[in-house]
Amino acid sequence: KKELLKELKDKENITIDGQRIDLFANIGSTGDLASVIQNDAGGIGLFRSEFLYLEKDHYPTEEEQFKAYKMVAENMAGKKVIIRTLDIGADKQVDYFNLEREENPAMGYRAIRICLDRTEIFKTQLRALLRASAYGNLAVMYPMIISLEEVLEVKKIVEEVKRELDAEKLPYKNIEQGIMIETPGAALISDILAQEVDFFSIGTNDLTQYTLAIDRQNTKLEKHYDPHHPAILRFIKMIADNAHQAGIWVGICGELAADSSLTETFLKMKIDELSVSPSYIYPLRKKIRETDVSKL
Ligand code: PEP
Ligand code: MG
């Protein structure tokens, strides 16, 4: 493992025939940063911001969030950091949100649905995130999007927040805005959604759950939870084609991104980025550098 590290550090993720792909890292808290840097990630493809909410007994303030996002942006020293906005719901309970118990939390009140209802919570996060963008290379993505209307509503709120920051003379960058494609509905209208965003990140964990109707947390169903199901692979191909047709890039940030038995498939689909747990970066880099896509 050490050998692999020495041999592949600072090397590009490029196939024998010259196709490049970004290898980014998924993180669940700022504590994972050391491992991101140690494993030579090209960026952070999924910063699960939930931890900021889960670790506290109150809504994290703008200042608390700003500090965390700024710290990550600065530590990544110009490399891209994609922060996913709050993806909390009835399955990830946070007391102070006072969410009602639900029969079917996976299909319930969560993520962007909460953010678009409780816009004060959403705006606080967006303000913190935009302010932190002045200190590095941040991007933002929105979870559980299912419609064009949601995307337009989110973008409107982002514009409002920018006007506020302008008025307060607080600096920010016009960062990339992407969406997670993690429901069959979003996948099927990804040609339309692609017109309104800068990138897609495919969340195969939820996409598998919703496409196959298999609760990802139900251990009894483990043997049926199959992200290799042809329906999932067809969806990934469709999403990638729709993204590229619209001139935007597409990544995969679900667990499937790290599955080396599919790396060749993803390269053939011209996936632009894979975001994985930091420890998978070197093995995937090795795999990519040994692949000749023209011979597949
Ligand atoms: C996904 O659904 O694939 C994903 C990356 O998001 P999470 O696992 O946090 O739901
Ligand atoms: Mg998800």
Reduced to 3 states (helix: H, G, I; strand: E, B; else coil), residue 186 is helix
Question: Which residues, in sequence order, are CB contacts of 140 under 8 Å at separation 6+?
Answer: 82, 83, 84, 85, 126, 129, 158, 175, 176, 177, 178
Q: Does 204 contact ligand 1 (Cβ within 6 A)?
A: yes
User: Could you list the active site residues?
Assistant: 253
DSSP 196: T
Q: Which of 49, 181, 205 to mutate to test the pocket of ligand 1 (most atoms within 8 A of CB)?
A: 205
Ramachandran sector of residue 60 (left: φ over 0; alpha: ψ -120 to 50; beta: rest): beta
Question: Among all ligands shown, which has an atom nearest to the Cα of 46?
Answer: 1
Tokens for 117? 């209802």
10-residue block means of pLDDT along the chain (296 residues)? Answer: 78 98 96 96 97 92 98 97 92 85 91 96 98 98 98 98 98 98 98 98 98 95 96 98 98 98 98 98 97 95
List, as residue ranges, the binding site for phosphoenolpyruvate: 48, 84, 205-206, 216
Q: Does 206 contact ligand 1 (Cβ within 6 A)?
A: yes
List, as residue ranges, the binding site for Mg(2+): 182, 206
CB 85 within 8 A of CB 115: yes
Helix (H) or strand (E) holding 93: none
CB atoms within 10 A of CB 294: 10
Instruction: Quickly list DSSP for 122-162.
Output: HHHHHHHHHHHHTTSEEEEEESS---HHHHHHHHHHHHHHH
List, as residue ranges, the binding site: 48, 84, 182, 205-206, 216
Residue 169 pLDDT: 98
Residue 1 pLDDT: 63
Nearest alpha carbon, ligand 1 atom 3: 203
Question: What separation in Å is there between the alpha carbon of 39 and the centre of ligand 2?
Answer: 24
* pTM as predicted: 0.97
Question: What separation in Å is there between the alpha carbon of 186 and the centre of ligand 1?
Answer: 14
Q: Does 131 contact ligand 1 (Cβ within 6 A)?
A: no
Tell me which residue of 110, 103, 85, 222 sits closest to 161, measured CA to CA.
85
